[in-house]
Structure 1
Amino acid sequence: MGFFYIVFMLLKVEKEKFRIAKNLNFRLFIKQTLVKFLVIVCITTLFVWLTNKEALFMVLINKPKLWLFILFIYSAFSVYPQELVYRTFYFKRYHNLFKNKNLFIFLNAVVFSLGHIFFKNTLVIVLTFLGGLLFAITYNKTKSTLLVTIEHAIYGCWLFTVGMGDMLGFPE
């Protein structure tokens, strides 16, 4: 219900148009996202290898159909709604309240991480805070729900792929 309320508010109150902006710099976005992704790949692979070697790429190797299914469901039904709520709505609704953009981005990351508190897992809170910073910075630069959704989906799908899915609430 909350998600539908946010969509209603974006469309009717904030007069947000759901369309792809023509001035997006996809080439720059891809380069920047690839660099960040490679750093995330290195850190998370090392983390899983050091903390739980058995989980490393377990679902991808042992249950590839489940892996593909979860990547699709996660991207379509979790990432996109989160980006509408935590970036599109938040930025549209609250950007005028802050003169300091860095504080605004920081608070967005805090709110995003607190949205994951039901996992009752400190590592999830830390990861979603860091992800929230990355996504808020991307959204602040691009003003594009599409680009930040792509970025969020790439990083989130990677976490499941590398073997962190159980921690993030996905079956393994």
Structure 2
Amino acid sequence: MSKQTDWADSATPHLRLRLEFGLFFIAVPVLIAVFFPPNWMFPSLFTFTAIGIVLLHYTPGYAWAELRYNWQNWSWREVVVFTIAMTAFCAALVMVMRPDAAFFLLSNRPEFLIVIWLGYPILSALPQELLFRSLFFRRYHAILPDGRAAYLLNAGLFSLAHLMYWSWIVAIMTFAGGLLFTWAYRKRGSFFYAVLLHAIAGNIIFAAGLGVYFYSGNVQRPF
């Protein structure tokens, strides 16, 4: 077998992964954001999530037991510091950008806020971390850039997945969140820690009133 044939055989799986990667993490989020009406967004996201979980399940060498790895590799001190900092940031941001929405659910619909706090970690944070941390780094590791570039790519695509909200605030917050959650998953090796930080961040966002930016009913496309 010639060297050219050897190269072609080794390049083909990478090409397939790149095409799959581009479709899943770039094309689909853009299509949802640009073409789908707001009331189709959540069914589309559930379908997107289901496909991602199937891809993860059939990733060569992947085992669901990996989700338990290093689950205790975090500290209460870090969590407390993050919670305080996130609360202060969100409170300041909502008072500047949307004072009318500041702590609205906390003040007016506390029972609904409790439902969000209970449901968000399982229905939103967990599946997002499965797709953007486990699937991203386990299935596509062979085609990812090295070092910090992989973190930046992950955060950028995590932000792109939220393009459907058409908000620069959402874009910046999800990019920063993507960096943090990737750090928890990669540096700490803890999927649980990534989910925990994601859940805390999301629940604070809704408590502060910034959930107005993450509500499909408020989406206004710029075209």
Tell me the equivalent position of 1:58: 104
1:21 aligns with 2:68: yes
Q: Which moved more, 1:3-12 or 1:116-125?
A: 3-12
**1:92 matched residue in structure 2:** 138
In structure 2, the residue matched to 1:131 is 177
Structure 2 CA distance for partners of 1:57 and 1:17, relative to 1, 3 Å: same
- The answer to whether structure 1 residue 108 and structure 2 residue 157 are counterparts is no
Deviates more, 1:12-21 or 1:39-48: 12-21
Q: Is contact 1:6-1:89 (8 Å) kept?
A: yes
Deviation per CA, 1:92-140: give whole Å up to 9, x if none: 1223334521000010000000000000111111111111111111111
Letter in 1 for 2:183: I
- Give how far 1:22 is off: 5.7
TM (norm. structure 2) is 0.69
* 1:141 aligns to 2:187 (yes or no): yes
Matched residue, 2:115? 69
Matched-pair identity in %: 27
Mapped partners of 2:205, 2:160: distance in 1:
19
Q: Distance in 1 between matches of 2:98 and 2:69?
A: 44
Q: CA RMSD in A?
A: 2.2
Contact kept, 8 Å, 2:184 with 2:191, in 1: the verdict is no
| Cα drift, residue 72 of structure 1 | 2.4
Of the two, which has the highest radius of gyration? 2
Q: Distance in 2 between matches of 1:23 and 1:157?
A: 24
- Structure 1: which amino acid aligns with 2:130? L
Query: What is the letter of the counterpart of residue 85 of structure 2?
Result: V
Conserved in 2, the CA contact under 8 Å of 1:10 and 1:16?
yes
CA distance, structure 1, for counterparts of residue 70 and residue 98 of structure 2: 44
Q: How many residues align?
A: 171
Q: Cα–Cα, structure 1 residues 145 and 62, in superposed 2: closer, same or farther, change >3 Å?
A: same
